[in-house]
Amino acid sequence: MRDTSLLQLALGIMPPWSVTRSDFDAAARRLDIQIDFATGSRFACPACGAPDCPAHDTDQMTWRHLNFFQHQAYLHARVPRVRCTKCGVKKVSVPWARPDSGFTLLFEALLMSLVSAMPVNAVARLAGEQDTRLWRVIHHYVERARARADLSGVTRVAIDETAARRGHNYITLFVDIDKARVVYATEGKDAATVAAFADDLAAHRGDPDAIAEVCIDMSPGFIKGVADSLPKAAVTFDKFHAVKEAVDQVRRTERKVHKLLAGTRYIWLRNPANLSDRQRAILDSLPLRYLKTGRAYQIRLAFQELYEQPTTKDGEAFLKRWYFWATHSRLPPIVEAAHTVKRHWDGILRWFDSRIANGLIEGINSLVQAAKAKARGYRSIRNLKAIVYLLTGKLDLELPV
């Protein structure tokens, strides 16, 4: 079998296309494959599909293909522009690549598989390509998949922000609780993000009025956004954010007096079961009985017992007792946190009916931040959002196989 026939079979090239030549350069570690069409061949119009359109002229094009063993492979072809009686002169689409791409479909499928598991810069180095070319591929497939997404079944949503870069730069994630997927990501963390989500939901066959449950933290922006844009949604306030910040405020104030609290910030933000051996040892060595931070920590841990109560009635009775303790703690940040709890009383107790919390979105945030750390950040919000959708959106990319 001739090399051209073998390559034609391997590439799946069908008439009127055929492999006419191959050039292998071992020193350059490169294989170049020439594809052409026979004189007089006719093509379908890419605009209206009319058959038997004659070639008007051709444009020489090149595409990067899957490696031939360890050697880079490239396809070259004269791509015709056809003359259609209806549409005029139009360039045909080749079966091995999408329009305006310098890669074949199979090479793009490989790239998309790799960027799902590795930082884009690392994939670019592995492929020997500029990362900007890879980002164009990523945006094409992610945006095309999002355009096809059907959000008509979304009725329960968790909302939270995640850091986009250092400083006060955030994107807000909207998670479909029932399918554990990010359905929308947008820059910012205010009421406008919820309005943008409602618009995007409607554009993807969803209905903002169908959102029955929303889980958020106590951010005034999110509260206003849900009230304005998701009017039928019952709000459950996230149990993971209710009192943590108050404990850290107590620690920061007390650290000025007790230097032994230096370097202990993350101990107070975690539950005892989640502490490392070193953190556990530090916590055990502290005189908790005499530290205001220790008392604040115990109040925070006690608050979490709310979610162990069997019924709404039991939960409300427990919360009343906790509220009395917290407001009489003589720790101003804890007292303020208790007043915040009081202002959001119904949304906190709503958990006993909805049983939803942002633990899911916290896990998604961890995935996003881990990917961002591996990549050492992203150049733009658009790039970060694309990676969020790629890793956590459960999109159907419809990649060729």
Residue 397 within any structural domain of the chain = no
Q: Give residue 268's pLDDT.
A: 92
Same domain, 341 and 373: no
Residue 35 within any structural domain of the chain = yes
Same domain, 26 and 170: no
Q: Give residue 258's pLDDT.
A: 87
Residue 270 within any structural domain of the chain = yes
Task: Categorize the per-residue pLDDT at 373 as very low, low, confident or very high, splitting at 50, 70 and 90.
Answer: confident
Residue 166 has pLDDT above 80, yes or no: no
Residue 175 has pLDDT above 90, yes or no: yes
Name which of 17-21, 159-163, 173-177, 344-348 the model is least confident about. Answer: 159-163
Residue 327 within any structural domain of the chain = yes
Same domain, 373 and 343: no
Average pLDDT over residues 333-354: 94
The Cα–Cα gap between 20 and 339 comes to: 78
Percent of the chain with pLDDT over 90: 77
Residue 79 has pLDDT above 70, yes or no: yes
Same domain, 10 and 118: yes
Residue 223 belongs to a domain with what CATH number?
3.30.420.10
Q: Which of 111, 144, 177 is the last residue of a domain?
A: 144
Residue 398 within any structural domain of the chain = no
Average pLDDT over residues 172-178: 95
Say if residue 108 is exposed, middle or buried (CB neighbours under 10 Å; 0-12, 13-18, 19+): buried
The Cα–Cα gap between 58 and 75 comes to: 16
Same domain, 177 and 273: no
Got the DSSP string for 189-206? SSHHHHHHHHHHHHHTT-
Q: Give residue 3's pLDDT.
A: 82
- Single out the residue of 236, 228, 215 nearest to residue 364, CA to CA: 215
Same domain, 30 and 137: yes
Same domain, 55 and 187: no
pTM: 0.87
Residue 1 has pLDDT above 60, yes or no: no
Same domain, 164 and 184: yes
Same domain, 131 and 274: no
What is the overall mean pLDDT for the chain? 92
Residue 284 within any structural domain of the chain = yes
Residue 382 within any structural domain of the chain = yes
Which residue range(s) make up the domain with 269? 244-352
Residue 161 has pLDDT above 70, yes or no: yes
Question: Are 179 and 158 a contacting pair, CB within 8 Å?
Answer: no
Q: Give residue 167's pLDDT.
A: 61
Q: Give residue 238's pLDDT.
A: 81
Q: Which of 144, 167, 192 is the last residue of a domain?
A: 144
Q: Which of 87, 117, 144 is the last residue of a domain?
A: 144
In eight-state DSSP terms, residue 93 is P
Average pLDDT over residues 278-296: 92
Residue 375 within any structural domain of the chain = yes
Total number of domains in the chain: 3
Q: Give residue 362's pLDDT.
A: 80
Token digits of residue 110: 């490989």
Same domain, 22 and 113: yes
Residue 241 CA to its chain's centroid (Å): 22
Average pLDDT over residues 168-190: 92
Same domain, 335 and 254: yes
Residue 55 has pLDDT above 80, yes or no: yes
Same domain, 81 and 175: no
Please write the tens of the pLDDT for every residue from 68-78.
999 999 999 99
Please write the tens of the pLDDT for every residue from 314-333.
999 999 999 999 999 999 99
Q: Give residue 242's pLDDT.
A: 65
Question: Are 245 and 266 a contacting pair, CB within 8 Å?
Answer: no
Q: Give residue 332's pLDDT.
A: 95
Task: Categorize the per-residue pLDDT at 153 as very low, low, confident or very high, splitting at 50, 70 and 90.
Answer: very high
